[in-house]
Amino acid sequence: MASTAGLRWGLDAYTSRRFTVSAHAVDSPVLPNTAFRRWFDEHRRANQFTVHRIPFDELVGWRFEDGTGNLVHDSGKFFSVEGLDVHTDWGDRGAWMQPIINQPEIGILGIVVKEFDGILHCLMQAKMEPGNLDSVQLSPTVQATRSNYTGVHRGRSIRYLEYFLPPRRGDVVIDSLQSEQGAWFLHKRNRNMVVEVTEDIPLHDDFCWLTIGQIHQLLCQDNLVNMDSRTVLACIPFDAPNGGPREPARGPYRESLLRSFSAGAQQSLHSTGEILSWLTDAKSRHELIQRTVPLREVKHWYRTPDEIGHEMGKYFTVIAADVSASNREVTRWTQPLLAPVERGLVAFLARPIDGVLHLLMQAKTEAGVFDF
List the CATH number of the domain containing 71. Answer: 3.90.79.40
Please tell me the predicted confidence (pLDDT) of residue 209.
Answer: 99
151 — pLDDT class (breaks 50, 70, 90): low
Q: Kindly report, residue by residue over 85-109, the tens digit of the pLDDT.
A: 999 998 787 899 999 999 988 999 9
Q: Is residue 167 part of a domain?
A: yes
Task: Tell me if 163 is assigned to some domain.
Answer: yes
Residue 47's pLDDT band, with cuts at 50, 70 and 90, is: confident
> Which residue stretches of 173-226 are H helix?
212-218
Asked whether residue 328 carries a pLDDT value surpassing 90, the answer given is: no
Write the DSSP symbol of residue 157. P
Q: What confidence category does residue 248 fall into, taking pLDDT thresholds of 50, 70 and 90? A: low
Query: Across 229-355, where does the E strand assignment appear?
Result: 288-293, 301-303, 308-310, 316-325, 332-340, 349-353
On whether the CB atoms of residues 173 and 196 are closer than 8 A, the answer is yes
Domain that holds residue 134: 13-360
- Number of helices followed by number of strands (H, E) in the chain: 7, 20
User: What does R_g of the chain's alpha carbons equal in angstroms?
Assistant: 22
Q: Is the pTM of this model over 0.85?
A: yes
Using CA atoms, how far apart are residues 328 and 307, in angstroms rounded to an integer? 26
The answer to whether 111 and 123 are in contact (CB under 8 A) is: yes
Supply the pLDDT for residue 261.
80
Report yes or no on 7 lying in a domain: no
* pLDDT of 80 above 60: yes
Q: Is the pLDDT of residue 366 over 70?
A: yes
What's the confidence (pLDDT) of residue 154?
61
pLDDT of 9 higher than 60: no
Number of compact structural domains in the chain: 1
What local confidence, expressed as pLDDT, does residue 1 receive?
A: 39
What local confidence, expressed as pLDDT, does residue 134 receive? 84
Residue 6 lies in a domain: no
Bigger pLDDT: 367 vs 157: 367
Asked if the structure places residue 370 within a domain, the reply is no
Q: Per residue in 107-142, pLDDT tens?
A: 999 999 999 999 999 999 999 888 888 889 999 999
State how far the Cα of 225 lies from the Cα of 7, in Å rounded to an integer. 23
* Domain-located, residue 238: yes
Quote the mean pLDDT of the chain. Answer: 90
Strands 49-54 and 71-73: unpaired
User: What is the percent of the chain with per-residue pLDDT over 70, rounded to a whole number?
Assistant: 92
Using DSSP, state whether 233 is helix, strand or coil: helix
Identify the DSSP state of 237. Answer: -
Please give the average per-residue pLDDT across 71-95, as a whole number: 92
* Phi, then psi, of 257 in degrees rounded to 5: -65, -45
The half-sphere exposure of 326 on its side-chain side, counting CA atoms within 13 A, is 9
Please compute the mean of the pLDDT values over residues 8-19 and round it to a whole number. Answer: 74
Contact 357, 351 (CB under 8 A): yes
* Whether residue 164 has pLDDT greater than 90: yes
pLDDT reading at 11 higher than 50: no
Which pLDDT value is given to residue 161? 94
Tell me, yes or no, whether 4 lies in a domain. no
pLDDT at residue 10 tops 60: no
